Amino acid sequence: MITGALLSATDLGMIRGERILFRNVSLAAHAGEAIVLRGANGAGKTTLLRILAGLTRPETGSVDRAASHHWIAHREGLKPHETPRTHLGLWARAWGAPTDQIDAVLKKMVLIRPSDVSARHLSAGQRRRTALARLLLQERPVWLLDEPLTALDADGRELLLSMISEHRLRGGAIIAAIHGDAGFDSSREVTI
Amino acid sequence: MSASPILSAFRQALTEAWAGGAGALMPLGFFAGAAVLVPLGIGTDPTTLRAVGPGILWVALALASLVTLERIFQADVEDGALDLWLQTGAPASMIAAAKAFAHWLTAGLPLAILSPIFALMFQAKADTSLLAHMGLYALGGLAFFFWGGVGAALSATVRRGGLLISLIALPLYVPTAIFGALAMSGGPGSTGAPLFLAASTLFALAVAPFAMGAALRLAAD
Amino acid sequence: MFSWFANPHRFLTLSSWLAPVCYALGALLIAWGLWQGLWIVPKDEYQGGDIMRVMFLHVPAAWLAMASYMGMAMMSFIWFIWRHEVADIAAKAIAPLGATWTALCLATGSIWGKPTWGTWWQWDDARMMSVLFMFFLFLGYMALRAAMDTRQKAARAGAILAMVGAINVPLIKFSVDLFTSLHQDASVITVDGPKMAAVYLWPLLASGLGHSLLFAGLVMTLMRAEIWQRRAAQIRARLMAGD
């Protein structure tokens, strides 16, 4: 059990080309917390999340990842030929997570019916739910979510919000870039 | 570090290659098309064809690898799979190597295996040397896919990066093409050439993954 | 040592007088070398008669083609390890100049080749082939940088490619040597061989040094332009951001 922050960042600054995207951004996510990143389009919310995930190298500052994290972004990571079942199977194996839970995960995400349909034929909402299903494959304390509510219908939204609250109750933390209404109580908002 | 992300990346690349490009069929069609154009262009004199045949096949193999490679990392950038692979904790270089190897298996190796048929079309004598040549094409093709993979990874974020890949990769293809064609020439100096070919392929396997890995980290940045 | 130069401000101060000095010395040396080479030294019938005088352009160009690629790769390496911005600016500035001298080397080689070998292009000449591939490496480097959307990405991509190219150069050279050594009808003319008469040595050295100084001066000027350009872009970005 990690007692301090699950993920913390200090004095992050980022430059794209010659433009300063943001600077002096610090944040820390503790167990049970949900941090919402706010900012206008192009302010660098996605870039900040990518820095937190370790994908993008910040110009200044550092990120301390005390716990493992899940990554859900606008680009879902789904290959056109993959079905929800093969996608989850692949990532379960890649992460060393058990594969016998995939049926249960598909059921929970209401993906049983299209479970063997390849992604190029899935609707945007189904694709998004497939990506979100990765969150349930393996217990990871930090969820990094970039606009997780996009493309979801009312049911899907409900489902994700319940997953988020369960995750927080289990002692997980959420850092999400959200435009508009979050739909859950955030512990803190960070505006960049 | 566990090997399972690398194996999974390999598996995904294999299935993607089969699903996305009809597997080996498209590169094979390209390879055949490129090779068949040559007699139409230079004439059908059997002696000439026999002399240029192995070289033409090397060029066709290099071109086929370049054509296949354009999408292998670009697709990962566009659909977000690259972000996931880079967060598995496995070295980016090993993920990249697994993918390049998988694409060689689906698009490079089949060409090498079918090379005797094309060699016969180029009036080669039907003997066991065709089988040895098959091995040389396979070996050289592996180097092509790894060096080409460096070009592909570097231009993964570039729209219409195909020309860029070719420009980057072609100088790196030179040793393989020279050693490969030399090994088949049967002339002086051809005895050591297969060894040089093997050595340069090993060099590619040792060096290219790190360049690909660094380039993929850049593509995700 | 390099860290001392890595400060853009210090570089601007240094290059503001060093670049003109390079131009002046370079022009003098090239002028003397060409005058000696074109009018004073005797022609060498064995090297093709008067056409051998192109040597005073060709050999410096060949030297700079090699040296500039190695310089670019070294700057890339320094940038990749220590992230000194000036090193990246240097690598970026060297590329188009290196490509120009490489093209000059190929062109003069070809012009020299026509009367002596009887052909504009000699596939059997290992040096010609190596320089040609060097030219492609430069082109690829410039094209890749141009295709990246920010200068930081251009620097990283360029550095990776320049280093990959540099470690491949010996292998390319070896393979080309092997390729050409098998064609025994190749020319036996060697410019830099022991047959070189002493009378050519001084003009050649002067010309080589002159070209190197000219090259260095141009690199510094391009670097200065790049530094000012980056500063201008920074100011523009700050004005647009409104702070």
Q: What is the pLDDT of residue C185?
A: 41
| Number of Cβ atoms within 10 Å of the Cβ of C238 | 13
The DSSP secondary structure of chain C, one letter per residue, reads -HHHHT-HHHHHHHHHHHHHHHHHHHHHHHHHHHHIIIIISPPBGGGTBGGGGGHHHHHHHHHHHHHHHHHHHHHHHHHHHH--HHHHHHHHHHHHHHHHHHHHHHHHHHHHHHHHHSSS--TT-HHHHHHHHHHHHHHHHHHHHHHSSSHHHHHHHHHHHHHHHHHHHHHHHHHHHHHHHT-TTS----SSSTT--HHHHHHHHHHHHHHHHHHHHHHHHHHHHHHHHHHHHHHHHHHHHT-
Q: Where do we find the tokens 């435009």?
A: A179
What H or E segment, with its residue span, contains residue A116?
none
Give the C-alpha separation, B154 to B211, whole Å: 9
Q: What is the pLDDT of residue B121?
A: 86
Interface of A with B in 10-69 (CB under 8 A): 50, 53-57, 69
When scoring A15, A50, A79 by the number of chain B Cβ atoms within 10 A, the one with the most, hence best to mutate, is A79
The average pLDDT across A72-85 equals: 93
Is A164 strand, coil or helix?
helix
Residue pLDDT, tens place only, C38-77: 888 877 766 667 777 888 888 899 889 989 999 999 999 9
On the 0-12 / 13-18 / 19+ scale of CB atoms within 10 A, C59 is buried
Beta bridge partners of A10: A62
When scoring A52, A56, A69, A95 by the number of chain B Cβ atoms within 10 A, the one with the most, hence best to mutate, is A95
The average pLDDT across C81-103 equals: 94
The average pLDDT across A95-105 equals: 94
Residue C4 has pLDDT above 80, yes or no: no
Give the C-alpha separation, A56 to B221, whole Å: 4
Q: Take residue A42 and report the two structure tokens written for it.
A: 């192009």
Q: Are B116 and B132 in contact (CB under 8 A)?
A: no
Of C134, C137, C132, C136, which Cα lies nearest the Cα of C121? C132
pLDDT band at C177 (very low <50, low <70, confident <90, very high): confident
Residue A1 has pLDDT above 60, yes or no: no
Residue C90 has pLDDT above 90, yes or no: yes
Give the C-alpha separation, C87 to C75, whole Å: 5
CATH 3.40.50.300 in chain A, residues? Answer: 1-68+141-180
When scoring A87, A90, A128 by the number of chain B Cβ atoms within 10 A, the one with the most, hence best to mutate, is A90
Q: Which range is most confident: A16-20, C57-61, C189-193? A: C57-61
Asked which of A43-52, A171-180, B83-92, C193-202 is least confident by mean pLDDT, the reply is: C193-202
Is B172 near chain C, with CB under 8 Å? yes
Residue A137 has pLDDT above 80, yes or no: yes
Spell out which residues of chain B touch residue A121, defining contact as CB-CB under 8 Å: none
Give the C-alpha separation, B142 to B147, whole Å: 9
The average pLDDT across A110-135 equals: 94
The average pLDDT across C162-168 equals: 93
Give the C-alpha separation, A52 to A86, whole Å: 28
The average pLDDT across C107-114 equals: 86
In Å, how far is B75's CA from the nearest CA of chain A?
9
Residue A113 has pLDDT above 90, yes or no: yes
Q: What is the pLDDT of residue B30?
A: 85
What percentage of chain A exceeds 90 in pLDDT? 80
Crossing angle between the packed helical segments C85-117 and C8-35, to the nearest 10 degrees: 20
Residue A117 has pLDDT above 80, yes or no: yes
Chain C: partners with 3+ C-beta pairs within 8 Å? A, B
Residue A42 backbone phi and psi in degrees, to 5: 85, 5
Boundaries of every domain in chain C: 2-185+194-241
Of B191, B175, B172, which Cα lies nearest the Cα of B183? B191
Give the C-alpha separation, B38 to B41, whole Å: 5
Q: Where do we find the tokens 């990765």?
A: A134
Per the CB < 8 Å rule, is C233 touching A15? Answer: no
Boundaries of every domain in chain B: 4-220
What's the angle, vertex CA B169, arms to CA B165 and CA B173, rounded to 5?
150
Q: Take residue B55 and report the two structure tokens written for it.
A: 């070289």
On the 0-12 / 13-18 / 19+ scale of CB atoms within 10 A, B97 is buried
Is A96 near chain B, with CB under 8 Å? yes
Q: Take residue A158 and report the two structure tokens written for it.
A: 């409900």
Is B199 strand, coil or helix?
helix
Low-confidence ranges of chain B (pLDDT < 50): none
What rounded mean pLDDT belongs to chain A? 92
On the 0-12 / 13-18 / 19+ scale of CB atoms within 10 A, C32 is middle
Q: What is the pLDDT of residue C215?
A: 96
Q: Are A96 and A52 in contact (CB under 8 A)?
A: no
Give the C-alpha separation, B154 to A79, whole Å: 21
Domain A1-68+141-180 top-level CATH class: alpha beta
The average pLDDT across A98-115 equals: 94
Per the CB < 8 Å rule, is B164 touching C149? Answer: no
Of B63, B86, B60, B62, which Cα lies nearest the Cα of B73? B86
What is the Cα C214 distance to its own chain's centre?
11
Give the C-alpha separation, B92 to B87, whole Å: 9
Higher pLDDT, residue C20 or A192:
C20
Residue A108 has pLDDT above 90, yes or no: yes
Q: Are B48 and B138 in contact (CB under 8 A)?
A: no
Q: What is the pLDDT of residue B167?
A: 92
